[in-house]
Amino acid sequence: MEIFINPEKATWIEIVKRPVFDYRQLETKVSSILDDVKSNGDAAIKKYTAQFDGVVLNDLAVTENEMAAAALQVDEDLRVAIEVAKNNIAAFHASQTEAVIKIETIDGVVCWRKSVAIEKVGLYIPGGTAPLFSTLLMLGIPAVLAGCKEIVVCTPPGKNGEINPVILYVAHLIGIKNMYKVGGVQAIAAMAYGTNSIPKVNKIFGPGNQYVTAAKQLVNATGVAIDMPAGPSELAVYADETCNPSFVAADLLSQAEHGADSQVLLVASSLSIVEMVHDEIEKQLPVLPRSAIAAQALQNSLAVVMENVAGAFELLNAYAPEHLIIASENAEYLAEKVVNAGSVFMGNYSPESAGDYASGTNHTLPTNGHAKAYSGVSLDSFVKKITFQQINKAGIKNIGRAVQVMAAAEGLAAHKNAVSIRLNEINK
Amino acid sequence: MEIFINPEKATWIEIVKRPVFDYRQLETKVSSILDDVKSNGDAAIKKYTAQFDGVVLNDLAVTENEMAAAALQVDEDLRVAIEVAKNNIAAFHASQTEAVIKIETIDGVVCWRKSVAIEKVGLYIPGGTAPLFSTLLMLGIPAVLAGCKEIVVCTPPGKNGEINPVILYVAHLIGIKNMYKVGGVQAIAAMAYGTNSIPKVNKIFGPGNQYVTAAKQLVNATGVAIDMPAGPSELAVYADETCNPSFVAADLLSQAEHGADSQVLLVASSLSIVEMVHDEIEKQLPVLPRSAIAAQALQNSLAVVMENVAGAFELLNAYAPEHLIIASENAEYLAEKVVNAGSVFMGNYSPESAGDYASGTNHTLPTNGHAKAYSGVSLDSFVKKITFQQINKAGIKNIGRAVQVMAAAEGLAAHKNAVSIRLNEINK
């Protein structure tokens, strides 16, 4: 960990910068897979599944029996844990339901918004070394709550042609029926364009490797909505003298174990805190199964001493972390200073991993500084907010003149006429 | 207008399709301007302003004096009209403010979302034949309401080097101070990358021609947020026997006058309604100043007779129009059937032009079928919703076991350890 002490603002640009990955370099390769699936559907998908996942499949769809049977393979312990997470995630996301509020902006003109579920959504759940069933909870629960009619889940099969039973169990538990054994670029293509087996969707959610990310960006440019731009996971910790350095070290390591490209930033109120955290990392790191990955991520990570609290949060806002832990007994006061972050963990007993799994907040969050303009996934992500206006005769008399004058000033006579013809009818 | 009568579902794909415009064909040209502005800043902007707008500028920024002086050039009538619009737009968008709701998902675990303004936003207001000051109202009012700290407005200068006084007046009225005389791709580049004169922003809003749209898509792919993908404006009207055909004709014409590429779709409950509307169009069209443009747009437009109401709305939802007028005395009942639309205008006295200017709803809406997954601009568009969680010792005891078990099942030992180290401390 490189250490900066009260760095000048001019150097912040170095501290807050992220590794640049230009997805355009993958464009040719990814586009050719997208085009192939668009033209050849299931046949292309099966070809790439054989090539990349090493398994030949007859059917892409998971059967109801496979889903129901999965529960028997999941430990009681894990089922209980998933139940806790599910309840908390559902409770928090249900609280995001927006009531219709009708506003009479002027006498006779009533306006409102109504949240209507996106009809067809696709959830991509990566495979790889571990089954990310937590991501299925985070995407599937709000999709079901929002009332999306068709929820399609794609996840790559293992070499045995099966999907990890925990993922199947979670899907079944939360009420998802359309699940397909397909991963990578070919999964994004299937959901973007549709195939005989896999329905086309309106919006695609979910994390993935660089190829999946590139594929999502490419289909997004052609009109399929996506959750948000993706990048390596990140954690910033603000730690002051009321922190517990061993907790801070554990939190930094939990982020670092995600991958060698994980981003970790420690901002501390004194050098001694950085030193104590560093010592704790040295103690905790060696016993971790993924210590090699974590060590590599930590090499690219930074610690910054900011003796001035306002400056510390200015720097953190400039960084705009995906996750921000405020490791302080003063977290309630300090959290008011947060302007840019995906999700904030307040106090010494709020580890990031709580939010990754079970506190109730969503773990699909903006990375790479996107927290300056993007929100994490929420119930909002699965609805459109349609506006309505209901204008009666009194209403059009009240705003008619304004519309006529403004339309005329913009040179749009037919816009004006649409009001005039109504006012003439009323005044007849 | 081509007429379809109770078309089979298999033919709907032809009815709902939009003209395809591939922005990638502009990519080379647009990218070179973006890159030039990125490298050469204001000098490049002045070069393109001379080239495309035909005016050589010394200063890009509009002065405070220019803004204050503009009011004197705007008619009293128009100032009153703008005031009405401003009040209604402000009232409706203020109602979208989201209160913080703290949820205790489980004892000791409190989660909430807080809407925080995006710090820096850029609003693009096109120039061209008419000054689109209404767009500045629609984007500027929610930006100010949201509390965005830096609101940058770019709009092309006329050949005299000035900005239309109505646009300046509106900016001044709603409290916008940072205004720049720059249009086209160079304006998008300036706001995406920043120059000496023009600040870099986090999110870019506003309509524009195909070059501006392509530029927004390209900077979006490199990490600058944008409001939504853009396309030609659209109107669908559902008209039944309780409609007023002359009103429907006026509404269709108000959409058609936008441009030759405007999309108009009439869905009627009987052929006689289509015929009556057609006769009214013939009457109203010739006297319009933009009749040539409107006539061209109408040539590409469609009328569909759907005798079955459910089928009519199924078709309209498949089309997912930017604007949908329900020209019926039964609008309240019928509006419940709307699943995909940007904004809905209910009843015979709710013309689209009311929403374009003054009802209070936003007129920046998803086109091109994007209403299936995107919402129009609202207060939400100018904020991020940051999640917070505050977990106390009881809370981490309540969810700790779930986090440990799930993290272990996902193979993330350090995630588990971040909880274990806290539980150990509590149980010491």
Judge whether residue B283 has pLDDT over 70: yes
pLDDT tens sequence for chain A (428 residues): 899 999 999 999 999 998 877 777 899 999 999 999 999 999 999 999 999 999 999 999 999 899 988 989 999 999 999 999 999 999 999 999 999 999 999 999 999 999 999 999 999 999 866 789 999 999 999 999 999 999 999 999 999 999 999 999 999 999 999 999 999 999 999 999 999 999 999 999 999 999 999 999 999 988 899 999 988 899 999 999 999 999 999 999 999 999 888 889 999 999 999 999 999 999 999 999 999 999 999 998 999 999 999 999 999 999 999 999 999 999 999 999 999 999 999 999 999 999 999 999 999 999 999 999 999 999 999 999 999 999 999 999 999 999 999 999 999 999 999 999 999 999 98
Q: Between B95, B353, B360, which is nearest A109 by CB?
A: B360
* A178 bridge partner residues: A152
List the domain boundaries for chain A.
2-18+232-360, 23-228, 392-426
Q: How far is B65 from chain A (nearest CA, A)?
A: 23
* DSSP classification of residue A419: H
* ipTM score for this prediction: 0.97
Could you report the per-residue pLDDT of A225-264, keeping only the tens digit for each?
999 998 889 999 999 999 999 999 999 999 999 988 888 9
Residue A185 structure tokens: 């670029």
Q: Between B129, B223, B401, which is nearest A368 by CB?
A: B223
Q: Between A203, A223, A353, which is nearest B407 by CB?
A: A353
Give the CA distances from residue B34 to residues A116, B38, B123, B215, B364, in Å, rounded to whole numbers and listed in that order.
37, 6, 17, 8, 24
A425 part of contact set with chain B, CB < 8 Å: yes
pTM for this one? 0.97
Contacts of A393 in chain B (CB under 8 A): 349
* A265 bridge partner residues: A236, A302
A-B contacts (CB, under 8 Å): 433
Nearest one of B150, B119, B142, B219 to A371, comparing CA atoms: B119
Q: Between B223, B358, B375, which is nearest A402 by CB?
A: B358
- pLDDT confidence bin for B129, thresholds 50/70/90: low
Question: One-letter amino acid identity for A29?
Answer: K
| pLDDT for A24 | 77
B290 with A217: Cβ contact below 8 A = no
- Portion 179-238 of A in contact with B at CB < 8 A: 202-203, 217, 221, 223-225, 229
Catalytic residue selected from B93, B172, B323, B370: B323
Q: How far is A271 from chain B (nearest CA, A)?
A: 23
Determine the distance from the C-alpha atom of residue B315 to the mean position of all C-alpha atoms in its chain, rounded to a whole number: 23
- Portion 274-333 of A in contact with B at CB < 8 A: 284, 288-290, 294, 331-332
Q: How far is B32 from chain A (nearest CA, A)?
A: 16
Average pLDDT of the residues in B237-252: 98
| pLDDT for B128 | 67
B342 with A389: Cβ contact below 8 A = no
- Asked if A259 and A296 touch (Cβ cutoff 8 Å), the reply is no
Average pLDDT of the residues in B199-206: 98
Pairwise CA distance, residues B350 & B247, whole Å: 10
Q: Between B349, B384, B419, which is nearest A422 by CB?
A: B349
Contacts of A113 in chain B (CB under 8 A): 96, 378
Q: How far is A93 from chain B (nearest CA, A)?
A: 10
B400 contacts: CB under 8 Å, gap ≥ 6: B419, B420, B422, B423
B51 contacts: CB under 8 Å, gap ≥ 6: none
Pairwise CA distance, residues A135 & A362, whole Å: 9
Q: Which CATH superfamily is domain B23-228 in?
A: Nitrogenase molybdenum iron protein domain (3.40.50.1980)
- Asked if B96 and B102 touch (Cβ cutoff 8 Å), the reply is no
A399 with B84: Cβ contact below 8 A = yes
Determine the distance from the C-alpha atom of residue B407 to the mean position of all C-alpha atoms in its chain, rounded to a whole number: 41
B1 part of contact set with chain A, CB < 8 Å: no
User: Among this protein's residues, is B323 annotated catalytic?
Assistant: yes
Judge whether residue B11 has pLDDT over 70: yes
Q: Which chain B residue lies closest to A227 (C-alpha atoms)?
A: B373
| pLDDT for B221 | 87
Judge whether residue B285 has pLDDT over 70: yes
Could you report the per-residue pLDDT of B208-243, keeping only the tens digit for each?
999 999 999 999 988 899 999 988 899 999 999 999
Whether A23-228 and A392-426 share one fold: the answer is: no
B351 with A418: Cβ contact below 8 A = yes
Judge whether residue B380 has pLDDT over 70: yes
Catalytic residue selected from B234, B280, B322, B352: B322
Judge whether residue B101 has pLDDT over 80: yes
B288 with A360: Cβ contact below 8 A = no
- pLDDT confidence bin for B323, thresholds 50/70/90: very high
- The SS3 call for residue A325 is strand
Pairwise CA distance, residues B308 & A130, whole Å: 51
Contacts of B380 in chain A (CB under 8 A): 380, 385
The domain at A2-18+232-360 falls in which architecture?
Answer: 3-Layer(aba) Sandwich (3.40)
Catalytic residue selected from A234, A257, A280, A322: A322
- Asked if B2 and B304 touch (Cβ cutoff 8 Å), the reply is no
Residue A225 structure tokens: 């909505």
* A235 bridge partner residues: A264, A323
Q: How far is B378 from chain A (nearest CA, A)?
A: 9
User: Among this protein's residues, is B322 annotated catalytic?
Assistant: yes
- pLDDT confidence bin for B1, thresholds 50/70/90: confident
Q: Where are the beta strands (DSSP E) in A302-367?
A: 302-305, 323-327, 343-346
Q: How far is A47 from chain B (nearest CA, A)?
A: 29
- Portion 33-92 of B in contact with A at CB < 8 A: 77-78, 80-82, 84-85, 87-88, 91-92
Contacts of A116 in chain B (CB under 8 A): 338-340
Nearest one of A355, A350, A348 to A330, comparing CA atoms: A348
Judge whether residue B393 has pLDDT over 70: yes
| pLDDT for B135 | 97
| pLDDT for A334 | 98
For testing the chain A interface, which of B390, B416, B424 should be mutated: the one with the most A CBs within 10 Å? Answer: B390
B373 with A203: Cβ contact below 8 A = yes
Phi, psi at residue B143, to the nearest 5°?
-65, -45
B274 contacts: CB under 8 Å, gap ≥ 6: B3, B266, B268, B303, B305
**Given this structure, which CATH class describes domain A392-426?**
mainly alpha
Could you report the per-residue pLDDT of B132-157, keeping only the tens digit for each?
999 999 999 999 999 999 999 999 99
A260 part of contact set with chain B, CB < 8 Å: no
A418 with B251: Cβ contact below 8 A = yes
Sheet of strand A150-155, all strands in order from the earlier edge strand to the far edge: A178-181, A150-155, A120-124, A203-205, A225-226
